[in-house]
Amino acid sequence: MSKSQFRVGISQGIRRADGEMVVPEFDLSPLDNDPLIDCVSLPDTADLDSDTAAGLDAVILMLESVTQKTFETPGRLSLVARFGVGYDRIDVEACTRNAVALAITPDGVRRPVAVSIIMLMLALTSRLMVKDRIAREGATGWARKAQYNGVGLVGRTLGSLGMGNIGTEVFKLAQPFDMHFIAHDPYADGRTAAALGVTLVSLEDLFRESDILSVSCPLSETTRGIVDGPMLELMKTSAFLINTSRGPVVDQTALFETLQAKRIAGAGLDVLEQEPPEDDDPILSLDNVILAPHALCWTDQCMAGNGAADVAAVQSTMGGHSPAHVVNPAVLDTPKFKQRLSEYAKRFGS
């Protein structure tokens, strides 16, 4: 193991150990072609183990978990770069305690996820799925088309649970639809909301007033199960729910019961409580829900954008600079992290 190079562990969810790219749009060449960088494959395991982590300066992770056990073996790990913006598998406090920055890729997912939400809104309100089905039935299906009129968007209310990176982008994209905009987010920037014509409301009012309600908040102990039975009871029977964040933000049992009873009009779900679901998961049997395998935003541009952001985070850290989009900014001011950056600057900085 050479300390003369900056060692980067690459998730096998991005590139397999045999060199095959799982995410071909992720351009790793800036790292591979740098003689000062040694890119190695991480073990194909659910958790990043401490012996592996100890010999690396940075890791780029797809789905691997990072816990306090990851840091049991003393080492030099300074950066965890996530491929995406979700970090519910990462123990953020453990990273901070061990002088490790956790970086995410909001620039890569912002537009692709927002487009996915708009797509689900249009598909649900136009009743695209049922119209596709009856169109395939020939004359019999076509004769029933008047039974499946969609819902126009002008004057309807688009609500967002969360108004951060993605929620804000959704409202930007939805401007031409002439809708009313509301959001609930205790951390929302009031000036940004006002500039986009978004009214910030209480959680209860968000569920009561939305015709289309999109969930765009991170999974945390505060948000886990926040979309529960009582909240769903507040929604209009004509309303649609969209979730592209994390499955456990929604109480899926309560949502199933709500959809089965037709107490709301439908749902669009890119995420589920268990992924993949069991074959007999009742949510799969419903005809008023659109499902996707937590990959609706997976486009060439999303993959390339996430990859470029992770590469930039690695290069910044290697050069002795703090990476962008750090989830735990407190770590940047710790003596140990500063010392690591200083040493990297001396060894690799230009």
User: Quick check: is 82 catalytic?
Assistant: no
User: Quick check: is 294 catalytic?
Assistant: yes
Local structure of residue 47 (DSSP, 8 states): B
Could you say which of 127, 246, 325, 340 is catalytic? 246
CA distances from 71 to 53, 133, 339 (A): 7, 52, 18
User: Quick check: is 246 catalytic?
Assistant: yes
Nearest to 44 by CA among 78, 18, 5, 24: 18
User: In which residue are the tokens 């030099």 written?
Assistant: 76
Q: d(Cα 135, Cα 154) in Å, to the nearest integer?
A: 26
225: left (phi over 0), alpha (psi -120 to 50) or beta: left
CA angle 211–217–223, rounded 5-degree value: 100
- For residue 67, which amino acid is it? T
The two beta strands, 101-103 and 289-291, are unpaired
Tokens for 99? Answer: 């002088």
Nearest to 114 by CA among 302, 286, 274: 302
CA angle 303–309–314, rounded 5-degree value: 125
Cβ-proximal residues to 175 (8 Å cutoff; 6+ apart), any chain:
196, 197
Could you say which of 294, 321, 343, 347 is catalytic? 294
Q: d(Cα 316, Cα 345) in Å, to the nearest integer?
A: 10
User: In which residue are the tokens 């006002």 written?
Assistant: 194
Name the residues annotated as catalytic: 246, 275, 294
